[in-house]
Amino acid sequence: MTRRARIFVAGHTGLVGSHLFRKLKEKGYTNLVYRTRKQLDLRDQEKVYDFFKRERPEYVFVAAARVGGILANRDHPAEFIYDNLAIQTNVIHTSYLLGVKKLLFLGSSCIYPRNCPQPMKEEYLLSGYLEKTNEPYAVAKISGIIMCQAYNQQYGTNFICAMPTNLYGPGDHFDPKSSHVIPGLISKFHEAKTLGRKFVEVWGTGKPMREFLFVEDLAEALIFLMENYNSSEIINVGTGEEISIKELAEMIKGVVGYQGQIKFDISKPDGTPRKLLDVSRISSLGWRARVGLKDGLAITYAWYLRNCKKLDSRKTHYNCKTAKH
Ligand code: GDP
């Protein structure tokens, strides 16, 4: 991928896309193509085709997706499967039709079976039943992977698939009802601190184990893979380290500086019991994550403080500016 290569970042305003976009620019890639959701609905096949025909991207990052936390997935399963299937199908198929040199499709660690042996190796894909709380999202992502592999096999394309673990960082979505655990808890602890609440409710039992990757590390990894990885085999991107939700909640409480109690709301789902990626494949290529969880949380909280509206009785605290870091 030369510095003048024409690169389309699908989803450049999202959590991953915005960091990826900035990093590409920092590294001297100047010929970037992008559209907001308003300008181009990636679920619309004809519009996607017209856009590709006009812009002729040579490299494509598929960072556009409908994403959300455990409750958003549970409550909007139809949107999670339809939007993701439509976006990725249009972008992957059009990339093939118009001769894109290389495409990187972004999956997720939730593609692995619920009771997968840990840490999860790439070959465990499709070896067991999925976690129910995010099955529609996972099935869409698995379809994207199989589609890339099928196109590589039949059409000789170079479409690669990266599987990131749970992500977090500046620019995330902080609405506690629909967000992932880290932005959700940052919002909740901050609100409790500001309003002097006695306790914060953390969903589930606190026992599930998760791995978290700082989004800037992922952006680095995606560029690294676009430059160095050319295989149909999926590749995990994570830190290789895990933490329980209880320990995570305590860490966020410390970063925010909240003094009250933590209560577990066991009426809310735990989801997958454990989700730790085996990162030996990407490690053997020479890539590793740099930002530790505590540092990443501090950076994310600082961003939240700078960008999210101040709390008062009328305003919502999670209404953050997006895509400016
Ligand atoms: P998951 O990895 O797909 O389950 O995604 P999430 O980030 O939504 O949730 C991770 C874990 O954190 C689950 O066990 C949740 O029940 C737990 N959790 C605890 N408190 C919260 C919260 O406030 N928001 C979210 N999204 N999850 C929480």
- Per-residue pLDDT of 240-288, as tens digits, reads 999 999 999 999 999 999 999 999 999 999 999 999 999 999 999 999 9
Q: Report how far apart the first and last C-alpha atoms of the chain are (Å, whole number).
A: 25
Identify the weakest region by mean pLDDT among 146-155, 167-176, 276-285.
Answer: 167-176
Going by pLDDT thresholds of 50, 70 and 90, the confidence category of residue 308 is: confident
Q: Find out whether 208 and 244 touch, Cβ atoms under 8 Å.
A: yes
Q: Is-catalytic flag, 137? A: yes
Q: So what's the pLDDT on residue 314?
A: 46
Rounded to 5 degrees, what are φ and ψ at 283? -65, -40
Rounded Cα distance between 119 and 181, Å, is: 21
Ligand 1 in reach of 237 Cβ (< 6 A): no
Which residues on neighbouring strands pair with residue 160, listed in sequence order? 104
pLDDT in tens, 32-82: 999 999 999 999 999 999 999 999 999 999 999 999 988 899 999 999 999
Q: Higher model confidence: residue 303 or residue 325?
A: 303
Q: Assign 3-class secondary structure to 190-211.
A: HHHHHHCCCEEEEECCCCCEEC
Determine how many CB atoms are found less than 10 A away from the CB of residue 225. 22
Q: Which of 137, 229, 301, 304 is catalytic?
A: 137
CA of 198 to the centre of ligand 1 (A): 21
Which helix (H) or strand (E) segment holds residue 9: the answer is strand 7-10
Q: Find out whether 151 and 143 touch, Cβ atoms under 8 Å.
A: no
Ligand 1 in reach of 184 Cβ (< 6 A): yes
Query: Cα–Cα distances in Å, from 103 out to 91, 158, 165?
Result: 9, 7, 20
Atom 23 in ligand 1: residue holding the nearest Cα: 184
